[in-house]
Structure 1
Amino acid sequence: MKTLILGTAALALSAGMALAQSDTIRMGTEGAYPPYNFINDKGEVDGFERELGDELCKRAELTCEWVKNDWDSIIPNLVSGNYDTIIAGMSITEERDQVIDFTQNYYPPTESAYVALSTDVDVMGGVVAAQTATIQAGHVAESGATLVEFATPEETVAAVRNGEADAVFADYDYLVPLVEESGGELTFVGEGVPLGGGIGLGLRESDGELRDKFDTAITSMKEDGSLNELLVKWFGDGVTTY
């Protein structure tokens, strides 16, 4: 899963950020990471997390409003109160958990992967693209490869196609449809790399009551099989399920 490397701006926790006494919850997402979340032809948030989030709010008896926010500022804007949750393909990490809170995961731990134009690419010593402020970018920086960062996931793949990078390193499930639809242009390189602890909803640390409501809803979806149904619907039969 995509995982954000926290900047200093995210550490500026504001006082008194407890959830307002309202049943309307603002769901913050990126809207640029299909099939997790994307903007459809009607200009609306769509994807796995839109369908999941709406169902979670229904089970928790909450009303959802969806808010789009760029990835690199998604945690600071949660902390400052611009929305109440992050539901944006965000992996649970120890570093992030020091600043915000998480529900249990609603997507099991998975792998990140390298994709290139050829399997002969040296992903440990070449130039590798990754989305900025992600744990994938951090992994590349520590691997010995030359890291080039881009603001959006689309730009990382474009960098491989136009020769700016030898490979892209990103979430495996994001890359699968791109490889399948490339007609053989793109290919996976090497083995997958396990990163993160699964995807969960991010919340302010002061919003424990809201976290508990969403945890209860996630548990109910795991128990009745509906979460697995959504995973298969959006990611295919090969997806890891609960």
Structure 2
Amino acid sequence: MKHLLLGAAALAVTASMALAGGHSVVRMGTEGAYEPWNFINDAGEIDGFERELGDELCKRAELTCEWVKNDWDSIIPNLVSGNYDTIIAGMSITAERDEVIDFTQPYTPPDPSAYVALDAGLDVEGAVIAAQATTIQAGFIAEKGWTLIEFATPEETVAAVRNGEADAVLADKSFLDTVAGTDGLVMLDRMEAIGGGVGMGLRESDAELRAKFDAAITSMKEDGTLNALIAKWEVASQF
């Protein structure tokens, strides 16, 4: 999934609150802009796979939870500084992030990255590729030495292809499934295996809270409800 490149601000900020031991409400931070993982519905509410998953995990962990929307580029710094208590936003578990925050076990396997373009025969290696800034897709294109244009939001990357600013967009296949087939956009045959499983992010000081969510994820895996939810929202392959 998406890969946030951590800045010095995130490394410099620490949090001292022991969430599970002292807070009556657990605040769940998400982006709200990455359908079907998380998005804002017509009623103005956070919706999607991770909203449904998070609500069920809180129920099983016997926690009272509320949802907080936060832009992707500051989602880790604002967790560390205490603006919310978890990240549940399609975030891949990476070694770089794990230096700053902790993760639960993964609640989905890796989701392949795909390309959407207006030309089904596009050679992506010689094309201009759009990607959301500070994601594993942007990092992949940069490492390949291809031409990259970065945008702040997923919607802007798709718009860049529609208006001719970019030849293709590289993103999680589950997200691109929601736009392929519209306005002449087609999914290319080529896929990229980048990123790891997706988990909840928590402050390193919140080991007790992490354990509660780990136990809830395990229970959903064991009784089949997690795979059923993954299949319902078509966010990744099942466990």
TM over 0.5: yes
Structure 1's consecutive aligned runs of 4 or more residues displaced over 6 angstroms after TM superposition are none
1:208-227 equivalences in 2 (<5 Å)? 208-227=207-226
Check the 8 A contact 1:102/1:202 in 2, yes or no.
Answer: yes
Report the secondary structure of 1:67's partner residue. Answer: strand
Q: Which of 226, 236, 241 is the aligned partner of 2:238?
A: 241
Give the Å deviation of 1:4: 1.3
User: Aligned partners of 1:141 and 1:114: how far apart in 2?
Assistant: 15
2:143 matches 1:142 = yes
Tell me which amino acid in the other structure corresponds to 1:213: K
Check the 8 A contact 2:118/2:186 in 1, yes or no.
Answer: yes
Structure 2 residue runs of 5 or longer lacking an equivalent are none
Report Cα offsets for 1:132-173 as digits up to 9, x if no partner. Answer: 111111111111211111110000000001000011010111
Q: Partner of 1:12 in structure 2?
A: 12
Check the 8 A contact 1:17/1:79 in 2, yes or no.
Answer: no
Tell me which amino acid in the other structure corresponds to 2:81: S
Give the Å deviation of 1:122: 2.5
Check the 8 A contact 1:24/1:65 in 2, yes or no.
Answer: yes
Check the 8 A contact 1:116/1:187 in 2, yes or no.
Answer: yes
1:108-123 equivalences in 2 (<5 Å)? 108-123=109-124
Tell me which amino acid in the other structure corresponds to 1:241: Q
2:202 matches 1:196 = no
User: Aligned partners of 2:17 and 2:192: how far apart in 1?
Assistant: 36
User: Aligned partners of 2:82 and 2:98: how far apart in 1?
Assistant: 17
Q: 1:15 to 1:60 in 2, by over 3 A?
A: closer
User: Aligned partners of 2:119 and 2:129: how far apart in 1?
Assistant: 13
Tell me which amino acid in the other structure corresponds to 2:16: G
Identity level (%): 70
Report the secondary structure of 2:188's partner residue. Answer: strand
> Is 141-150 or 78-87 further displaced after alignment?
141-150
Report Cα offsets for 1:174-228 as digits up to 9, x if no partner. Answer: 1012114x16x11222421112221100001111110000000000000000011
User: Aligned partners of 1:120 and 1:192: how far apart in 2?
Assistant: 14
Tell me which amino acid in the other structure corresponds to 1:176: D
Tell me which amino acid in the other structure corresponds to 1:68: K
Alignment RMSD, CA only?
Answer: 1.4
User: Aligned partners of 1:53 and 1:65: how far apart in 2?
Assistant: 10
Q: Partner of 1:42 in structure 2?
A: 43
User: Aligned partners of 1:22 and 1:12: how far apart in 2?
Assistant: 24
Q: Partner of 2:74 in structure 1?
A: 73
1:23-102 equivalences in 2 (<5 Å)? 23-102=24-103
Q: Partner of 2:107 in structure 1?
A: 106
Q: Partner of 1:187 in structure 2?
A: 186
User: Aligned partners of 1:35 and 1:169: how far apart in 2?
Assistant: 16
